[in-house]
Amino acid sequence: MESKILDDPGSLPGVMANSLDRERRFRAQRNLYLSGFALTLLFVIIRLVQMIRSNIRLTEEVQLRMKLLKTAPSRTNCD
């Protein structure tokens, strides 16, 4: 008899059970979306760090080559 009351969508316990089920489902979906967003954001941040490191390395390499180019003509003028 009591399970029949809980299964009846029109009864107060049935409505509360349905509401609790929808609330749990909403929270589960929300947590899934938040986790997905956090994971995506993590990948974006990791990629940005890689790009910044690469940019720093390339900038240092360009500066070193420019420095070598400035000293190179003085060596060739000695011939």
Q: Where are the alpha helices (DSSP H) in 1-79?
A: 2-7, 12-76
pLDDT one-digit tens code per residue, 41-59: 999 999 999 999 999 999 9
Confidence band for 63, pLDDT divided at 50, 70 and 90: very high
- Taking CB atoms within 8 Å and a gap of at least 24, the contacts of 18-26 are none
Q: Which residue carries 């000293």 as its tokens?
A: 71
Rounded to two decimals, the pTM is 0.62
CA 19 to CA 26: how far, in whole Å?
10
Residue 68 above 90 pLDDT?
Answer: yes
Sequence length of the chain is 79
